[in-house]
Structure formats: structure tokens, C-alpha cells
Amino acid sequence: MENDFTELLKKLPLVAILLIASFFVGQLTARVVHSKETSAVLPASDGNWGLGFPEEGKTPTGNATIDELKDYNAYYAEDTDDKVIYLTFDCGYENGNTAPILDALKKHNVKASFFVVGTFIDSNPELIKRMVEEGHIVGNHTWHHPDMSAMSTKEAFSKELTDVEKKYEEITGKPMNKYYRPPQGKYNESNLQMAKDLGYKTFFWSLAYVDWYQDNQPTKEEAFKKLLGRIHPGAVVLLHSTSSTNAAILDELLTKWEEMGYTFKTIDQIGGSNEATSV
């Protein structure tokens, strides 16, 4: 059979051979495209949100596109040419750096979003009240900071969020905004849908740097290299409130971003939605 097929190919004109080759290439391409379309929102191989930076000053690529995430009311950046920054902080515990961060934000009249875990909100009610009084958004970072992608039931997933909601309302007397950031950026398609079903919007990020090791903090120069070099229009910036570097540089960082022509919005305005908040 193999010899017969070889003889047939020898007799076929070149054009016919090219047509046959094109057919098989087309079939292979179609299968690859279909595979991508049917698994549009998948985590990286380690289950974490990940970014690629092909060009400085431009929106980085994520594990999913801006449009793909919108199906789950999820965001990592805004598709815009306007020089706007959505500044967010993750608050895992308190070590004295949140107050100076709030001082710098107040000095520049910049409103930010603070994603808090249960221990933070439980142990620091006065800081939570100050965030609210000064016009910041307090978002949900879960009670125990677990790997939420491992949550197989909606009940377990929901409890991590509702426990934070209850404590927030107990402290502030107001319902909590339903803005959620997955701990460590760990997620899957199923729990993006769970968050959406619970009325939450999920927020990843398009700019962050390694600022969370308390005993190995980046230098000012290292911080500015990342935070100035990779800033881009529509950026959702993630910083950690535990970082002494962030506390020390935030005043100057905000000044430099402003000198670059950037303004600041809160995450309730991403995509131009400008929905009401409880702050």
C-alpha cells in the first residue's frame, strides 16, 4: 500500500500535491483554533494568574484576554488609551505600613482599593473605618487566604467570602462591596463562575512586583524600575500593604506617575461602569 501511494504521488502534478498539503494544514489549524476557543479562560500550568510583557508601556498579556474575562465579570486591566491607573492593595496582615500608605494617598487625593483577608479586618477595625471614611474601596480577599481554585463546592467557596462580608458590616454598619481578588491569583473557570453567581466581580492585575517578603524588601530603585517602566494605560496595579518599601516610596511614586500624565480611578469605574459603592 505504501509503495502504491508513493507511485501515485509521483504521477500527481505539483499543484495537486500542494492542494492536498494545504487541506491537511488547514485541518490542523482549525483543530488548534477550536481547542483555544473551547478553553478560553484557563489558569497557567501552576494554577496562578500570569502575565507576559511584550512591550514596555503597553498592556501585558494575561492567561485570558480582557474580553474573555468579561464573561465572568472579571478584569485584569482596562482596554483604553487613557492614562488611568486603578491602584489596589492586598492586605494579609498589619505590620505598621498601612497608615503611611493611607497618608500618601490622602496627600495626593488618590482613592485606592484594599483587598482584605479575615484576620486583617478582624484585628484592624480602625484601619478599615479609616479606609471607608477616606473614600477607599474595601474588597474581599477571603477569610483564610486559601487556594480558592481547590474549592470544589459553592458552599465552601461562598463561606470564605461571606465571613469577610459579615465582619465588614459589623465594623462599618454598611454592606461590603462585592469585589473579589483570588488569593495568590489562584483560580479556575469554575470558581470565576462561582464568584459571578454570588454577585462578585473578580479583579486580577496587570502590574505587580515582588514586594511581599517582609525580610527581603526591594530597594527603591528596584521598585521604581518595575512600577514606572511597566505602567500602562488602564493598569490595575497590585501592591502589598505589608511592604515597607511601598510605604516609603508611595508619595514619590504617585508624584512620578502624575508627572507621566496618569490619573487615578477606583475599580468600580473600570470599563466606564461607575456603579454605586458603599464607601
CB of 238 within 8 A of CB of 68? no
* In contact, 114 and 277? CB cutoff 8 Å: no
The gap between the terminal CA atoms of the chain, to the nearest Å, is 76
Evaluate whether 79 touches 59 at the Cβ level (below 8 Å). yes
Task: Let me know: does 275 contact 137? Beta carbons within 8 Å.
Answer: no
For β-strands 201-203 and 74-75, DSSP reports them as parallel
Nearest to 118 by CA among 143, 84, 81: 143
- Cα 191 from chain centroid (whole Å): 15
Pairing of strands 51-52, 61-62: antiparallel
Q: Active-site residue numbers?
A: 90, 240
Indicate the residue type of 104. A
CA dist., res. 105 & res. 251, Å (int): 7
State the amino acid at position 89 in one-letter form. Answer: F
For the packed helices 244-259 and 220-229, what is the interaxial angle rounded to 10 degrees?
Answer: 40
Contact 261, 159 (CB under 8 A): no
